[in-house]
Structure 1
Amino acid sequence: MKQPASFKLISRLMTDAWIYSLDGHRDAAGIYARILEMLRPNMILAVVDTRASDPDDFALDVIHRYKVPTGMSAMRHLQEVRTLSDHQHLRRFMIPAYVKVIESRRPETDRIVTSILGMVIIYDRLILPQKNPSGRSDWCLVLIDVKVLLPPTPKTALADVDLGILQLLAEGATIKEIAEASHRSDRTIHHRVERLKARFGARNLAHLVGLFISAGIADDPSSEE
């Protein structure tokens, strides 16, 4: 079975196509045409029209949408945005990245950890500007590889025993194994897990673990709100 293409491979192919593209080439499709069929469901490909003098008016054209099944409608909403001014996060967090790439006229790859529209999200991003040595780039090509997409959870202080339970659940431990590791009865651990589910608003154990991880990411000082 053929291995799915990685963000690293697709980024390299796009960057190679960008390197060998003609200066001032007007059509971004020449750079992404080769990799379109390689894009995975968790990837987003978009062209950003940067001709407007005001970056708030930069326009978005999503070529490949995020297709992983999710109940978070915010992901669909984000891909329906037409200009960066349509959403505060796009204005404050994405505009500086596009302006930087346009001014430097060089590709940029980074990893983003952020909270947006009720989602906690981690993604890798590649930005390729139009090669135009004689002037401003008319467009940027953006590839996003969503690594983590989680619902938010309210910040909550955890007792040491509950922190241990959640950590072991995240490692795949059973209630019995958690009880043995914490020197408590199965019944005690079961009750604490049920209280944690109620506290986090989790529907099941998988949801509880996801919310626990989401809370840890949201608490990271390097993440953007």
Structure 2
Amino acid sequence: MTDTWLENVGKAVTADAICRSVHGMLGINMALIVVDMQAKTPLDWRLDFIHKYGIPTSLADSVKLQQVQSLRDFPGAASITQVLAEACKKMIADGRPSVRKIDQRVWRIRIIGDCIVLPDPAGSWCVVLVEVHSLSAVGHDARHDDIDLAIIQLSREGLSAREIGKLIELSPRTIEHRIEKMKARAGVKGIVPLLIMKT
């Protein structure tokens, strides 16, 4: 994809040509999007999902989200528009591609991945390739006491409730009970969102 863009620097290149260059190489955890920037405001920019992210998730209706026609149609459009508009405008101004890490909260979802943005030298479109490494629920900020912080850290290290209990001198059942209380305070169902939260 980047090779096709680089081979055509100074020449007319189409978003379609760039997309065709990677068509057969995209995985289920990737999305390839053409952002048509010809409208005056970013909210009216058109989105064309050439390759859709395909891993099922209960966090959002990814099928419906990828049917969106413009940024205005996205639920919570302001946060998406700001991130995407800034990236595309910067790449157009710089006149070169960008490879960047993603660690973004959108609604109550944390998205971690990598992104390549290829700009149209004429400024009318950007091609965006996103590889999603993880999607996870984002909990409410919750305060934790010292014991809870120790349980979270030791859980991050992969220790079981029994192993954590031995280290901090509590029963495994108490450890499990405290984890359930922390999940409830944070508003999450599973332990993974609790473990990736800032403590």
Classify the TM-score, shorter chain.
Answer: 0.7 to 0.9
- In the TM superposition, what is the alpha-carbon distance from 1:67 to its structure 2 partner? 0.8
Contact 2:111 2:136 in 1 (8 A): yes
The correspondence for 2:141, drawn from 155, 162, 173, is 155
The correspondence for 2:47, drawn from 60, 63, 80, is 60
What is the root-mean-square deviation of aligned Cα atoms in Å? 2.1
How many matched pairs?
195
The correspondence for 2:22, drawn from 23, 27, 35, is 35
The CA deviation string for residues 154-179 of structure 1, in whole angstroms up to 9 with x for no partner, is 11001111111122222221111111
Match of 1:139 in 2: 125
Aligned counterparts of 2:103 and 2:71: Cα–Cα separation in 1: 19
Cα separation, partners in 2 of 1:75 and 1:167, compared to 1, 3 Å:
farther
Report percent identity of matched pairs.
Answer: 34
- In the TM superposition, what is the alpha-carbon distance from 1:181 to its structure 2 partner? 1.4
Aligned counterparts of 1:185 and 1:52: Cα–Cα separation in 2: 61
- In the TM superposition, what is the alpha-carbon distance from 1:114 to its structure 2 partner? 1.9
Which runs of 5 or more residues in structure 1 are unaligned? 1-13, 220-225
Match of 1:114 in 2: 104
Cα separation, partners in 2 of 1:191 and 1:83, compared to 1, 3 Å:
closer
Matches within 5 A, 1:128-207: 128-131=118-121, 136-203=122-189, 207=190
Aligned counterparts of 1:124 and 1:65: Cα–Cα separation in 2: 15
Cα separation, partners in 2 of 1:71 and 1:125, compared to 1, 3 Å:
same
Name the amino acid aligned to 1:97: A
Contact 2:140 2:186 in 1 (8 A): yes
- In the TM superposition, what is the alpha-carbon distance from 1:74 to its structure 2 partner? 4.7
Which runs of 5 or more residues in structure 2 are unaligned? none
Aligned counterparts of 1:129 and 1:195: Cα–Cα separation in 2: 48
TM-score, normalised by the number of residues in structure 2: 0.86
- In the TM superposition, what is the alpha-carbon distance from 1:201 to its structure 2 partner? 4.4
In the alignment, structure 1 residue 49 sits paired with structure 2 residue 36: yes
Aligned counterparts of 1:187 and 1:117: Cα–Cα separation in 2: 34
Match of 2:67 in 1: 80
Aligned counterparts of 1:194 and 1:78: Cα–Cα separation in 2: 32
The correspondence for 1:213, drawn from 190, 195, 198, is 195
